[in-house]
Amino acid sequence: MRRVKLTKEEQALEDHIEEFVPVSGEEFNEIAKALETRKKDAVLNIRVNKYDLVSIKQKAAKLGIRYQTFISEILHKVAQAQ
């Protein structure tokens, strides 16, 4: 069987799996729905100003997340804004 390389976050979850508690069916459905709506199933290639990208990478590093994830979160917030 092929070994899957986990991210730091995934490895932390796996290391602490025994600390998680079961949830009700309703809670599980809510969680599943939230995960499904956040599923990343499209690819986007864009050109950006290199100074903006450096700034985004620095801000993502301060938050401790990958810059692609940071950009995705920014896009999600803008897309969901009313």
Answer for the pair 56, 70: CB distance below 8 angstroms, yes or no: yes
Is pLDDT at 1 greater than 80 in this prediction?
Answer: no
What are the structural domain ranges in the chain? Answer: 8-80
56/22 Cα distance (integer angstroms):
37
Q: What is the per-residue pLDDT for 61?
A: 94
The model's pLDDT over 24-75, given as tens digits with 9 standing for 90+, comes to 888 888 888 887 877 788 889 999 999 999 999 999 999 999 999 899 989 9
